[in-house]
Amino acid sequence: MIDPIALQFGPIEIRWYALMIISGLLLAVYLSAKEAPRKKIRSDDVYDFILYAFPLAIIGARIYYVIFSWYQYKNGSFMNMIAIWNGGIAIYGGLIAGFLFLIFFTRHRFIETWDFLDIAAPSVMIAQSIGRWGNFFNQEAYGGKVGNLDFLPGFIRDQMYIDGAYRQPTFLYESVWNLIGFALILLLRRKPKLLKQGEITLFYIVWYGLGRFFIEGMRTDSLFLAGLRVSQWLSLVLVITGFVLFLFRRKKQDLAYYQS
């Protein structure tokens, strides 16, 4: 088992979980800031956005996790509820909080919301791909029992041996899925007159929703609601919404192409 603590300076612990999230964030900010001028958005706007959005997203991710894992916290202390350094944040909660703030931010800065979303979507996807490895180090967000994981490198296989059995490395499946989605977006957005304004964002929504729907079905630690896990229901909403918006916006003749 890999020690979840990467570095320790006296009483101060720096966990791999935090390092993975911060690494993903820094790469996402760099890529978004580099792409922003293409849509006539200042790099400083990207930096200003992330300064506020990141802590809000962490808070949203934790609130979402606690709400849908209330049985773990209802008899505990308030400090236990906010102890994110021990793991336990839900990406959907972070996305919801970040999206709500983005709407406020773009309107306040007089930036076209869809343009900002289009430069952010691929960066968010690669950040999620990296961030999922935090679950690996914490041995959380894994799937059901499997006979063996011989197709995986030894360090992953050993880390997925939990409570006397090998577990589905769902963190890895989602990480790879997001990495493929990121690569596809980079390829598609280079094609002239292929993707219209907002369609990179909608591709992200549909791609991520599809992946999460199937991967969540393998997990054993999320809440059920009417036969499906809560995150699966939300994934279905994302996929359907993304397809409907794509069809609606594709018919509009006045939308600019991302790459003209």
In the three-class reduction of DSSP (H, G, I as helix; E, B as strand; rest coil), residue 1 is classed as coil
160 in Cβ contact with 169 (< 8 Å)? yes
Cα–Cα distance measured from residue 258 to residue 197, given in angstroms and rounded to the nearest whole number: 6
Query: CA torsion angle for 147, 170, 151, 165 (degrees, to 10)?
Result: -30
In the three-class reduction of DSSP (H, G, I as helix; E, B as strand; rest coil), residue 254 is classed as coil
Query: Angle at Cα 207 formed by Cα 17 and Cα 139, nearest 5°?
Result: 25
In the three-class reduction of DSSP (H, G, I as helix; E, B as strand; rest coil), residue 257 is classed as strand
**Smallest Cα–Cα separation from 231: which of 258, 212, 249, 244?**
212
Query: Angle at Cα 18 formed by Cα 14 and Cα 21, nearest 5°?
Result: 155
Q: Where are the alpha helices (DSSP H) in 87-153?
A: 91-109, 113-131, 133-138
Asked if residue 132 belongs to a known ligand binding site, the reply is: yes
Cα–Cα distance measured from residue 148 to residue 77, given in angstroms and rounded to the nearest whole number: 38
Measure the N-to-C terminal CA separation of the chain; round to a whole number of Å: 50
List, as residue ranges, the binding site: 132
